[in-house]
Structure formats: C-alpha cells, structure tokens
Structure 1
Amino acid sequence: MLQPADGKVGTRELFAIFLISIGIKLSDGTPMLLLEAGKNATWVLPIVAGGIILVPTLLILSLLKKYKNKNLVDIIFIVTGKYIGFIICLIILFAMIFANALNQRTTVNIISTMFFPTTPVVIIFLLLIGSSFAVARVGIEAVGRTAWVVLPYIKVVLFLLFLLIINEIHFEFLFPIAGPGLDVLIKESFSYHTIFFEFIMVALFFPWVRDHKSYKTATLLAVGFIVLEMTITMAYFVMLFDYPQVAHVAYPFQQLTKMLEVGTIVTSYEGFFLGFWIMAAVVRFSIYLLLSAFIVCSMFQLKDFKPILLPLACITLLVGLIPENQTETTFFMRDVFLLQSSWYFVTMLPILLWITYKVKERFNV
C-alpha cells in the first residue's frame, strides 16, 4: 500500500536509494580498481570494507538521533562551529561535484566504448546529465519512489544474468582463498571502504525521511544487502575470467552480458541489459545532483533546491569533460583523488564529529 505523498521518503524508498547509488558501482570502473587490489580474493574486500564503514555509519545514526530534523551539514555546523563547518562543507561539496562528474564520465566512456563508438562523448554526456537533471528536479520523494519502482526489475535482471551463466563459472579460480595475503586484503579494504561513502552522504536527506527508525532500518538493511551483493558479484567476475586475466578486462559487467547465450533466435543480449543499466545510472546521478544541491541549500540557508540544480548540472558536465581518456578518469582521478583522499575524509568525518560532540558534552562547551 502506497504512503500518502508528504514530501518525505520511508524505509523502502531510502533502501532503494542506497542500493541503486552504491550497487551500480559493480558495473562502472570500480571493479577494475578492486580487482587490481584484491586479485583473486577481491570478493573479500567488500566484506571487510563493509565492516569498516559500519563504524562511521553507526556514529552518524547516533548523531542524527541526537540532533532531530538536522541533516549532515547542520550537524557539522553545530558541532564544529560556523567557520570550520563552512570549510568542511565546502570540501564535501567539491568532492560531491567531482564524484558526480567523474562517475558520469566513466559511465559515458562505457556507453561510448561498448555500445555507441561513433557517437561523440559530449552528446552522450548531455543526454545522461539532462536525464539526471529532469529526475532530480521532481524532488527527493519522487526520486525515492522511482528508485523503489525500478529496483526490483534491476535486481531480477541481475539475478537472471548470474543464473544463466552459472555453467561458465569455475570455483577453483577463487583459490588461494587469501589471494595476495590477509594483510594486503585488510590494507586494501581500508583504502577502498570509501566505495560506500553514500552511507554517510545520504544523511543529507535525513530531514526528508519520515523518522529516525525508518532511516536506521533502511541503512542497516542496505549495508547487509550491498555487502552480500558486491561479494557475490566480485566472486563471479573472478570465477568467470580468472586472475590475472580479469584484471585486463576493462568493464567486467558489460563483458559478462556479452557472454550470455540463450537459444538461437537472439544472438546478443547486451542491449537488453543496457536499458536497465542506464535507468539505474540516471537515478543514481539524480541522487548525486540532489545531494550537491542540498549541501548548497543547507550551507546558505536556501529554501528551494530547484534553482541550484541547473548550475550544478552544468558544472558537472564541464568537470566531466576535462579528462581526456579512460585511464585518467578511472585510475587517477577517481582512484587517487576521490576514493583514497576526498571520500576518506568524508567517511572518517562521523568519527571526528562524534568525538568532538562527546568532548563538548563532557565539558559543557
């Protein structure tokens, strides 16, 4: 039964937002980075990284319960003060814009390379960001409901894909289980736990969630589901392509869809999966646009986020067109600048905020 429209999202809509915004990373450039780090034991990384991100996630849940009807930016200003808070929020805003731009550029590169090699990159980018802007403009409630509607189709299609190619997998490719060694896996899990940064950033939506219980339930369910999904998917990649060959596969998920053969009438199914993948990508990037707009609105006490969306979309487009090639986008800017620097700061932020809050509470500051 549908909840009446009240401008807010409930447990299932927030759950869908998490699953789409994080789960779709399995189909972009993220697997290439993880496979290079974890080798044949890459499937272990999401498990350890999920345990790591759970700590700041629980702390942000605690802070959200303490500061009712406040989002992440509000809490940062309350705990750290006006000037330090402004600097922190400015860093987060820049990171969010660059994340949206670079992730969209990676998606554009995949579409261009795998499906439309003759279409100019800028045209594909314009269509993608234009669609994301149109979805974001309808607001968080509509985006959440859209995410919940498309989520079952996306996950069913993914399940069928794995089921139909199960005869192609080789369990022996997973051995040795520890891959490069437990010490390496733990180290790389710390480095790449930032792939789950949305568990922190979505706290910007908290005032638009019906209650703290809904937010907490959706968040914890999403952590468990996404860790399981990523673990299984990364194991599939290794069992299908083997290591080190899999490290040379540019886009494992897209290559996986090309491997599917069912019957003799249809010889290619990647176009079928492309449609669902693009739907998920548009929802994901509309969420990123909303997050950026909410940061600006909270920093400058603006009441309407819609006028902010178009300038942010234009900036995203311009930044996304800066990288000249796929290697520069995925292996340098996304890996070094975002995953191992900017988002590391964001995922550690709840720990710093919680400690500062406790110190101020202890000394009645």
Structure 2
Amino acid sequence: MFKATDDKIGVREYLSIILITFISKITDSTPSLYLKEGMTAGWLTPLISGAFMFLSLTIIMSLLKKYEGKGLIELVYALLGRFFGFILSILILITFLFFAFTNSRSYSSILTILFFPNTNIITSYFFLILASTLIALLGLKGIGRVGRILIPYFLVSIVSILILSKNEMNIRFLYPIQGAGVKNLFTSGIFLSSTLAEIVFFMTFRPMIRNFKEFKISTIIGFLASVAIMMTYFAVYLMCFDYPPVTIINYPFQTLTRMIGISRFFTNVEAFFLLVWVMIAVIRYAMYLYTLAGIFAQIIKSTKVEPLIPAFAVITFMLGLIPENHVITVQVIRLYNIRATSVLFLTFPILLLICDRVRRNKADG
C-alpha cells in the first residue's frame, strides 16, 4: 500500500485526471476505431462500451470498499493469492504498457503530421514522453493539480468547437440509426470496451485518494460525463463528414477544426487551441507513466512510485518506435490489443467477485 499520506488527492484533482484522460480520446485515433466498427451507429457504440465497462467498474469498486485501503493490484493478490495474483497483475501491467505506447505514439504522429510536418516523428515523440515524464515525477498530487488548472480551458475549447461547427452538421447523416444492425452495434461495443479501461487501471491509486466516498464520486461522474462527451463528438463527426467518408479520416477532430472558422479573418481555429491540446496530451501520458510505475510498485510491494517512472518512460518510448507508421500503430497493434483486452476487463472483475464470495463462504463455514 502507498504510504504517501501527504500526497493524497480529492475529488477535483482525481475528477480532472479522469476527464482529461477520456475526453482527450476525441482528439486522437479513438473515433476512427469506433466509427469504422459501428458505422452510422458509431456514435452510440461508446454507450454500449461504457455500459459493459461500468459493470466491471461497479464490481471492483464494491470489492475495494470491502477491502478498504487496498489498490487494484493489492486487491488481486488478496483474492487470488500470491501465484495467480502475480500472473494476473503482470498481465494487467503488460496490457497497460500496450495502451501507453500505442496511444502516445499515435498522438505524436498526429502532432507531427498536422502541426509540425518538418519535425521528425521520433523527435516529437521523444519530447512528448520527456514532458510527460517530468510531469509524472511531480507525483499524483502534482498531476492532479496541473490537470485541475487545465481542465476548464479544455472544456471551453471543446464546447467552442461544437458551437462553431453547427453549420457543418447534417443530422440525416446519422441514419440508419442502428448502423449495420443491433447485433453489430452490441458486438462492436463489447469488443471496443477496453478503450475505456483506464478507469480500472487508475484504481491502483485508491489508497492515494482521501476516502472512498470521494473516490466513488469522482470515478462515476468522470466516467459518465466522459462517455457522454465522446458520444456527442462522435455524432458530430458523422454529421459533418458522413459515412463512409468519415472512416478514411484518421484525425476527425483536427480535420473538423480546420473546416470551421470564427470569421473570414480567423480561419485557422486549431492554432488557438494547439497549446491546450498539447498540454492535455502531456497530462494524459504523464498519468499513463505514473500508472505503469504504480502498478509495478504494487506488484513488488514498494511504497515508492516516482523512482520507477523514468524506467517505464524509456520502455514506452522504445516500444513506441517499433511500429513503422500511424496505420500500423492504430489499425493493427492498437485495434487487436483493444479487442483482446476487452474480454479480459469484462471477465477478471467477475473472477475477483467469485473469489471473494468463496473466501467469505469458507470464513462463514
């Protein structure tokens, strides 16, 4: 268990971290995955994914309440024992490592291709990881405070873009509302549910949040609000670009910002928000690095997280250099990782619940 009681955070900090992590998905390659899988119903798919992930979330929260003071990995060890707990914990660590390097590499590709075309992707990726590492070294409290400062600007920017893009929308592009059918809609939602799995990974830091009530409030509000915003923006992408043209756009958010303008004198709207988007990305991947270090710290029974961050930053950077291009990163590695891990995050909470019931029955017997 983490002992840094002075570094505990509250609702505002943790809620800011959750909102930044999930809402920033509208600006990366996540919309492309949902809209290709769900077609015209792609904007509804996050609702299905969110419902299944919320089930897993509820189960784990109920267990964390019973085992007060434990984080996710400690809970796994407590219920599965040393051997099986170690195996599942390592699997969780490897899964999140894939999340970290595929998402960060994808984002660096977007920044390079759209905003810094004369900069080498490796260089931009290096500086993204470096900046994220420096923020992560501030600790969870530092990440939360920076996130709390930035989140109002981020929310204002995404609301502003919605308002400015209203003239580009055509609601008829949302039909047929069920896409390729209800079965396809549910299948897509289930196998994309791990795009929302960060909410489970972050439960590693339950001991670093002041109390369970604040943890629960932040988690539920942040998760539900994020899913709602993702659905709204995915619907906007469909209404602006139509299906199937939207499926060939790798960066719908950035493409949308280039379509709109405040007036004929202010057409490059994306430039106004670039700094905020870059800072939000830095906070998001700082939390990724901190989470990787936190998961590993709980596996090795360490109370210190920060000393492990540079090592995971190097590992993430090196792994992110392996994919040759953005298409391989998103359409191959990330997509297959999401599909495989969706099964994991829908099943292992149920396994933990069963183990808890077995332990309690034995204790009562």
TM-score norm. by structure 1 comes to 0.96
Q: Which residue of 2 aligns with 1:348?
A: 347
Q: Which residue of 2 aligns with 1:224?
A: 224
Q: Show the 5 A alignment for 1:134-213.
A: 134-213=134-213
Which range moves more in the overlay, 133-142 or 298-307? 298-307
Q: What is the alpha-carbon distance in structure 1 between the residues aligned to residue 356 and residue 179 of structure 2?
A: 41
Contact 1:197 1:347 in 2 (8 A): no
Contact 1:202 1:291 in 2 (8 A): yes
CA deviations over 1:247-291 (Å, ceiling 9, x no partner): 111110010110121123333122222211111110000101111
**What are the ranges of 5 or more consecutive residues in structure 1 without an aligned counterpart?**
none
The code of the aligned residue for 1:74 comes to E
Q: What is the alpha-carbon distance in structure 2 between the residues aligned to residue 295 and residue 46 of structure 1?
A: 26
SS in 2 for 1:178: coil
Give the drift of 1:48.
1.6
SS in 2 for 1:236: helix
Which range moves more in the overlay, 229-238 or 90-99? 90-99
SS in 1 for 2:6: coil
CA deviations over 1:292-322 (Å, ceiling 9, x no partner): 1111111112222222111110011000000
Q: Which residue of 1 aligns with 2:338?
A: 339
Q: What is the alpha-carbon distance in structure 2 between the residues aligned to residue 360 and residue 303 of structure 1?
A: 27
Q: Which residue of 1 aligns with 2:320?
A: 320
Q: Which residue of 2 aligns with 1:215?
A: 215
User: Cα gap change, 1:176/1:346 in structure 2, threshold over 3 Å: closer, same or farther?
Assistant: closer
Q: What is the alpha-carbon distance in structure 1 between the residues aligned to residue 288 and residue 341 of structure 2?
A: 15
Contact 2:193 2:342 in 1 (8 A): no
Which range moves more in the overlay, 93-102 or 276-285? 93-102
The code of the aligned residue for 2:74 comes to D
Q: Show the 5 A alignment for 1:242-253.
A: 242-253=242-253
The code of the aligned residue for 1:51 comes to A
CA deviations over 1:171-222 (Å, ceiling 9, x no partner): 1111111111111101111111111101211110100000000011111111
Q: What is the alpha-carbon distance in structure 2 between the residues aligned to residue 123 and residue 216 of structure 1?
A: 39
The code of the aligned residue for 1:295 comes to I
SS in 2 for 1:363: helix
User: Cα gap change, 1:274/1:347 in structure 2, threshold over 3 Å: closer, same or farther?
Assistant: farther
SS in 1 for 2:160: helix
SS in 2 for 1:6: helix
Q: Show the 5 A alignment for 1:22-61.
A: 22-61=22-61
CA deviations over 1:111-165 (Å, ceiling 9, x no partner): 1111112211111011100000000001001111211111111011100011011
Contact 1:39 1:244 in 2 (8 A): yes
**What are the ranges of 5 or more consecutive residues in structure 2 without an aligned counterpart?**
none
Give the drift of 1:15.
1.2
CA deviations over 1:13-57 (Å, ceiling 9, x no partner): 111111111111111111111111111111111112111111111
Give the drift of 1:343.
4.7
Q: Show the 5 A alignment for 1:294-313.
A: 294-313=294-313
Contact 1:200 1:347 in 2 (8 A): no
Q: Which residue of 1 aligns with 2:362?
A: 363
Q: Which residue of 2 aligns with 1:271?
A: 271
Q: What is the alpha-carbon distance in structure 1 between the residues aligned to residue 287 and residue 347 of structure 2?
A: 22
Q: What is the alpha-carbon distance in structure 2 between the residues aligned to residue 349 and residue 10 of structure 1?
A: 28
Q: What is the alpha-carbon distance in structure 1 between the residues aligned to residue 96 and residue 347 of structure 2?
A: 16
Q: What is the alpha-carbon distance in structure 2 between the residues aligned to residue 106 and residue 272 of structure 1?
A: 22
The code of the aligned residue for 1:214 comes to E
Q: What is the alpha-carbon distance in structure 2 between the residues aligned to residue 6 and residue 302 of structure 1?
A: 17
Q: Which residue of 1 aligns with 2:119?
A: 119
Q: What is the alpha-carbon distance in structure 2 between the residues aligned to residue 255 and residue 75 of structure 1?
A: 43
The code of the aligned residue for 2:338 comes to L
SS in 1 for 2:119: coil
Q: What is the alpha-carbon distance in structure 1 between the residues aligned to residue 218 and residue 349 of structure 2?
A: 18
Q: Paired residues, what number?
A: 360
Q: Which residue of 2 aligns with 1:238?
A: 238
Q: What is the alpha-carbon distance in structure 2 between the residues aligned to residue 28 and residue 91 of structure 1?
A: 25
Q: What is the alpha-carbon distance in structure 2 between the residues aligned to residue 234 and residue 326 of structure 1?
A: 21
User: Cα gap change, 1:343/1:49 in structure 2, threshold over 3 Å: closer, same or farther?
Assistant: closer
Q: Does 1:257 align with 2:225?
A: no
Q: What is the alpha-carbon distance in structure 1 between the residues aligned to residue 257 and residue 151 of structure 2?
A: 19
Deviant stretches of 4+, over 6 Å: none
Contact 2:290 2:306 in 1 (8 A): no
Give the drift of 1:170.
0.4
SS in 1 for 2:118: coil
Give the drift of 1:348.
2.9
TM-score norm. by structure 2 comes to 0.96
